[in-house]
Amino acid sequence: MAEIGTAKGPAAEHRIILRYADEPDYTTDIDCYLRHGGYEQLRKALSMEPAAIVAEVKASGLRGRGGAGFPTGTKWGFIDHAKNQKPVYLLCNADESEPGTFKDRQIIYKDPHQLLEGMIISSYANRAHLAYIYIRGEMVRGAQILERALAEARAKNFLGENILGSGYDLDMFVFRGAGAYICGEETGLIESLEGKRAYPRIKPPYFPAVLGLYLCPTIVNNVETLCNVKHIVEMGGAAYAKIGTPNNTGTRIWCVSGDVRRPGYFEYDGGAITMGELLYDVCGGIRDGNRLKAVIPGGSSAKVLRAGETYRIRRKNSQGTMEEVEMKLEDLPLDFDTIAASGSMSGSGGIIVMDHTRDMVECLNNLSAFYAHESCGQCTPCREGALWMHKILDRMAEGEGRPEDPQLLLDLAEQIAGRTICAFGEACSWPVESFVAKFREEFEAKAAKEHERLQPAC
Amino acid sequence: MVGPDQPLLPGTEAPGTEFVRKADEIVRQYPVSRRSAALPLLHHWQQEFGFVSQRAVEWISERLGLKPIHILELVTFYPMLRVRPGGKINFKVCRTLSCALAGSHDLFAQIRERCGATATAGHGMYVSPDGAYSVEFVECLAACGTPPAMMVEEEEFERATIDTVERILAKRQASRATGGA
């Protein structure tokens, strides 16, 4: 691995969250965790005022790692503890289902106590006395690992009544989903946990911090986000904020899959590595000596980026004034703001790579099948539109395309986004909009070819 | 899919003492609302009896003081819940993009052929005529870095190939021959 910040190679990985996960002797039991300084930050946190922890998290600049990148401290600040009379709940969103994302899995399966410590500290900071981990149903082993970790933590009084003599009580349980992607949407997750279909709630009025689980104030945070809280308590918010770049603080775990030689997950400081360095230096380049064609930078819902594109990125320079620079895809530093400025999003950190041999209609059709299957069915534009877009793409892929199909896809996508209760409308539209717009010639060829085939064969 | 042409099977399952004890333990994890235990109890039932029957819907709704429709609406919503028994060995293959790029659709076809899973059992599941094997596509299993991802019951497999499948089949056959589970 190259040295940090050299001009020759990419920065080295900076593993905070995954520090121990892949060490050969590191195990998931509590004794191993305690040998590695486990639950020391919980002791420290319990000696602090809850409001002081919230202040540290605010100062850290931590942004949610689940996809939206919302500032965690701001989210926590929405609960007004001076006025609130209701119980507060803390939920961990471990429903990792965004195609291309497999980072939370590493934490749950290899370092479960880190998540529990982060959750107990976060529950204390938000004055919650009941917390649930909502884990996707397919991670049966993950749920078992967490159940065992919870039992171990209870036995050592890191959970339960009067935790470590602090007077603070907290109970925590694992809840398993059952294969529905929409449960990753926080209000859908809440409905699911209430024993209902995971129909997302409309906001306003159902902001989780106001009317969440059982219509009480509720904090919903991603696995990686909650783990970060432990490290913020350890190093202090100000020190944490020095990692990465302003507004993109801390590390992020990037998951690379698809057509690279060495796919995997890699933890880097915010903005410390570019897309090109990650794909070519870290992941060994495109498989079989092929050329890069397209990258989905932040889970399947993020807009696709095309190889050879350049972007006008507005950013703060070292003097603190705004400047606009032109960047190639390979030069984009990986962080929230730059990827957003490129017209996409870094979302959940799931980077899917497609090489020049891939048919973009087929790739998009694969994703559209996902969204057609996963729409919860509550809002008409999404329920009908996601399925309709899939039908069109399916017929194009099958060689039954029509000349009007590319434009029809764009028109449909445009009429879904912004017209639904939750962000699934955008999630299913953005891939369609970006694939068709950026690879228009491929979609038109697919449609036109069929048009020719339909001519009489004589 | 549950519908007029494919209603729930009536079911004759009889929950035993241990099953009920575990069910009570699950319900206790939801001190604020018993209804929250609905999905966990459905998981519990399916794990014990293999699929969700009419009997399951009635038993769980009664246990939680709910109407049967409150349970049935979950059965028809959550893809992991089955209303028909799957094969004795059920292969779940990831269908979504990263695994598809790594050949999961070929793997799916190979498993179908190897196991003779020709009959459709709804929800995209195919079963062999003797009910021994079934195979179904599932959406992203969050293991995109080691594709194709596959699950057999609770076990997860990375970089799965038809050889992986052969090993699983051989292992099951061996354990059956020695009278193991």
Q: What is the ipTM of this complex?
A: 0.94
Measure the CA–CA gap between A374 and A371, rounded to whole angstroms: 5
Q: Is the same domain home to B105 and B168?
A: yes
Nearest chain A residue to B159, by CA: A263
Please say if the pLDDT value at position B181 is more than 50.
Answer: no
Question: Which residues in chain A are contacts of B66 at CB distance < 8 A?
Answer: 195
Which CATH number does the domain housing residue B100 bear? 3.40.30.10
Q: Is B81 on the interface with A (CB under 8 A)?
A: yes
Q: Which of B38, B43, B147 sits opposite A257 (nearest CB)?
A: B147
Give the closest-approach CA distance of A337 to chain B in angstroms. 25
Q: Is the same domain home to B94 and B132?
A: yes
**For residue A284, what are the contacts with CB-CB under 8 A and spacing of at least 6?**
A260, A261, A262
Q: Is the same domain home to B168 and B104?
A: yes
Interface probe for A, chosen from B97, B105, B125, B159 (most Cβ of A below 10 Å), is B97
Residue B40, beta-bridge partner list: none
Q: Which residues of chain A are modeled with pLDDT < 70?
A: 1-9, 449-458
User: What is the model's pLDDT at position A436?
Assistant: 98
Q: Is the same domain home to B69 and B96?
A: no
Q: Is the same domain home to B62 and B16?
A: yes
Q: Is B52 on the interface with A (CB under 8 A)?
A: no
User: What is the model's pLDDT at position B77?
Assistant: 96
CB A238 within 8 A of CB A226: no
Give the closest-approach CA distance of A194 to chain B in angstroms. 4
Cβ separation A373–B40 shorter than 8 A: no
Give the closest-approach CA distance of A358 to chain B in angstroms. 9
Question: Which residues in chain A are contacts of B139 at CB distance < 8 A?
Answer: 97, 99, 179, 181, 370, 373-374
Q: How do the domains of chain A map onto residue ranges? A: 30-241, 244-355, 360-453
Which CATH number does the domain housing residue B25 bear? 1.10.10.1590
Give the closest-approach CA distance of B37 to chain A in angstroms. 6
Nearest chain A residue to B143, by CA: A102
Class of CATH domain A244-355: alpha beta
Provide the percentage of residues in chain B whose pLDDT is more than 70: 94
Give the closest-approach CA distance of A217 to chain B in angstroms. 14
Residue B2, class by beta-carbon neighbours within 10 Å (0-12 exposed, 13-18 middle, 19+ buried)?
middle
For residue B151, the surrounding DSSP H or E stretch is: strand B150-152
Domain count, chain B: 2
Cβ separation B74–A136 shorter than 8 A: no
Nearest chain B residue to A198, by CA: B77
Q: Is B25 on the interface with A (CB under 8 A)?
A: no
Residue B66 domain boundaries: 1-85
Instruction: Give tens-digit pLDDT for B137-158.
Output: 999 999 999 999 999 988 999 9
Question: Which residues in chain B are contacts of A98 at CB distance < 8 A?
Answer: 140
User: What is the model's pLDDT at position A1?
Assistant: 39
Please say if the pLDDT value at position B15 is more than 50.
Answer: yes
Q: Is the same domain home to B7 and B58?
A: yes
Q: Is the same domain home to B145 and B106?
A: yes
Cβ separation B39–A192 shorter than 8 A: yes
Cβ separation A138–B100 shorter than 8 A: no
Q: Which CATH architecture has domain A360-453?
A: Up-down Bundle (1.20)
Give the closest-approach CA distance of B156 to chain A in angstroms. 8
User: What is the model's pLDDT at position A452?
Assistant: 53
pTM value is 0.95
Cβ separation A139–B40 shorter than 8 A: no
Instruction: Give tens-digit pLDDT for A241-281.
Output: 999 999 999 999 999 999 999 999 999 999 999 999 999 99
Interface probe for A, chosen from B27, B91, B101, B138 (most Cβ of A below 10 Å), is B101
Cβ separation B80–A354 shorter than 8 A: no
Q: Which of A136, A197, A367 sits opposite B77 (nearest CB)?
A: A197
Indicate the average pLDDT of chain B. 92
Give the closest-approach CA distance of B178 to chain A in angstroms. 26
B1 pLDDT band, cuts 50/70/90, is very low
Nearest chain B residue to A94, by CA: B142
How is domain A30-241 classified at the CATH fold level? Rossmann fold (3.40.50)
Give the closest-approach CA distance of B65 to chain A in angstroms. 13
Cβ separation B77–A180 shorter than 8 A: yes
State which amino acid sits at residue A260. V
Cβ separation A178–B144 shorter than 8 A: no
Q: Is B97 on the interface with A (CB under 8 A)?
A: yes
3-state SS assignment for residue B105: helix
Please say if the pLDDT value at position B42 is more than 90.
Answer: yes
Cβ separation A179–B144 shorter than 8 A: no
Instruction: Give tens-digit pLDDT for B52-109.
Output: 999 999 999 999 999 999 999 999 999 999 998 888 999 999 999 999 999 999 999 9
Q: Is the same domain home to B95 and B122?
A: yes
Measure the CA–CA gap between A427 and A385, rounded to whole angstroms: 12
Measure the CA–CA gap between A306 and A312, rounded to whole angstroms: 15
Q: Single out the residue in B59, B85, B111 at which a domain terminates.
A: B85
